[in-house]
Amino acid sequence: MNDNQTCEIVVDGKLNESAVLDFPDSLTLMPEGWLSTFEMSILYTLAKQSAGPILEIGSWLGRSTVAIAGGVRDNVQAPIFDTCDFGLTSGVEWREKLQESFMPYTDSAENDVIARSVFQTGGTIALLIDNLRKAGALKYVTSIIRGDVLEIPLRAKYGYIFCDTLHSEREIRAYGAFLNNLLADGGFIVCDDVISEDLGSILREYIHFEFLAYSNPIDQYSKFAVGKKTHK
C-alpha cells in the first residue's frame, strides 16, 4: 500500500494484506533469524502506527527488533520501545530458561549460529546490541532488558506487544494472564508461533480480543497471530 495510507490491518476477522506496509530497509543489514519478510512488514507497520509504548518479548539476535525499530523511526509520535530477552550466555542457562537440552545445538552444523551466539563473549545480548548498532537501529530502542519477562521491571501498560514466548499450550498458560495485564485496552499483540485457532483459542482464555487473525493464509512461511484487545 502507499506509505501515506492508513487502513484497518484486520477486516472481517482476517489479516488485511493491503494494510501492511512494505518493510523499507535493506535486508542485507538484518540479523539472522526466522522471520519472513511479510512478518517483518507486519511488525514494522504496527510500530509505525502505534502510539506505544511498545514491548518486544524475545528479541534473540534482533531481526524482529530491527523491524520494530524501523517503525519507531518512521513514526511521527516516536513511541517508547522496550525489548527484553533472556540473554543466554551458556548451555546451562539455555536448559534452565528454555527447559530443553542445549546438546542438539552443539552437535549440529545446521545450528551453528545458535551455539556461536550463546557462547560468544557477553552472550546473545551482546550480539543483539551489536546487530542493532550495525543496522542503525540502536538509537530507536528505549531500553534493552536482560532477564525473564515475568521477573524484570516493566512499564505498567503497553499499546503494542510482540511476543515470541507462546510456542506451546504450556507457555501460553504460563504467560497468558501476565500478557493480559500488560496489554492496554485497545492494544495490539503479535504472537509468533500461534499459527492457528488451535493455540489461539487457549490465548483467548486469557485475553478478550476484538479480533485475533492469522498471517499463514497470506504467507505460508508466516507463523503470526495478530490480535487487538477489546476496550472495557
Answer whether residue 95 is part of any domain. no
Q: Residue 24: name the closest of 47, 7, 6, 8 by CA.
A: 47
**Residue 149: predicted pLDDT:** 93
Instruction: Show the cell assigned to 118.
Output: 550463546
> How many distinct structural domains can be found in the chain?
1
Q: What is the DSSP string of the chain?
A: --TT----SEETTEE-GGGSPPP-S-GGGSPS-S--HHHHHHHHHHHHH--S-EEEE--TTSHHHHHHHHHHHT-TT---EEEEE----SHHHHHHHHSS-SHHHHS-GGGHHHHHHHHSTTHHHHHHHHHHHHTT-GGG-SEEEES-TTTS---S-EEEEEE---SSHHHHHHHHHHHHHHEEEEEEEEEET--SHHHHHHHTTTS-EEEEEESTTT-TT--EEEEEEPP-
Answer whether residue 5 is part of any domain. no
Answer whether residue 177 is part of any domain. yes
**Residue 118: predicted pLDDT:** 74
Answer whether residue 1 is part of any domain. no
Answer whether residue 101 is part of any domain. no
- Domain CATH number, residue 74: 3.40.50.150
**Residue 22: predicted pLDDT:** 94
Answer whether residue 38 is part of any domain. yes
pLDDT tens for 173-201 read 999 999 999 999 999 999 999 988 999 99
Instruction: Show the cell assigned to 177.
Output: 494472564
Answer whether residue 223 is part of any domain. yes
**Residue 111: predicted pLDDT:** 65
pLDDT tens for 111-121 read 677 777 777 88
**Residue 6: predicted pLDDT:** 45
Range of the domain at 173: 10-87+139-229
Which residues of the chain, if any, have pLDDT below 50?
A: 1-6
Answer whether residue 174 is part of any domain. yes
Cis amide prior to 217 (ω within 30 degrees) = no
